[in-house]
């Protein structure tokens, strides 16, 4: 799902709010999340998961193409940890037809 797909879905479920206002709401939520992570705060959405910033220390690596040693600077990177409820909902979700087709044995007719 893309951001525009999310806006479409929210707009469908809230017909009393215009699509433009829905876009403003979604962008405001994302902006607030970005600002919270920028300031070092942790975001927890019960039943969904949590976001936090992890600090990756500076280290020495190698250029995979040339094999030359390269210094990799320290950086802060966002990290998402899925919540238990979301994990269970995804794991218990019914399979789509496409995944069932992939598992069929070649030459065998479908039932």
For 62-79, write each residue's pLDDT tens digit.
Answer: 999 999 999 999 999 999
Tell me the H-state helices in the chain.
3-13, 19-38, 84-91, 97-103
The conformation of residue 67, written as its DSSP 8-state character, comes to -
What pLDDT does residue 94 have?
74
- pLDDT for residue 49 is more than 70: yes
pTM here is 0.70
Contact 70, 59 (CB under 8 A): no
Residues 13, 2: Cα–Cα separation, whole Å: 17
What the chain holds in terms of domains, given with CATH numbers, is 3-92 (4.10.520.10)
pLDDT in tens, 75-103: 999 999 999 999 999 988 777 665 555 55
From the CB of residue 22, how many other CB atoms can be counted at a distance below 10 Å? 19
* CA distance linking residue 35 with residue 60, whole number of Å: 30
Alpha-carbon 68 to chain mean position: 33
């Amino acid at each position: 799902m893309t951001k525009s797909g999310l806006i479409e879905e929210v707009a469908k479920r809230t017909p009393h709010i215009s699509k433009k206002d829905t876009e403003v709401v979604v962008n405001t939520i994302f902006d607030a999340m970005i600002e919270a992570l920028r300031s070092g705060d942790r975001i927890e959405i019960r039943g969904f998961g949590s976001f936090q910033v992890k600090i990756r220390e500076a280290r020495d690596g190698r250029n995979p193409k040339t094999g030359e040693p390269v210094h990799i600077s320290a950086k802060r990177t966002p990290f998402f940890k899925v919540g238990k409820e979301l994990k269970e909902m995804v794991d218990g979700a019914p399979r789509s037809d496409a995944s069932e087709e992939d598992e069929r044995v070649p030459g065998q007719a479908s039932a």
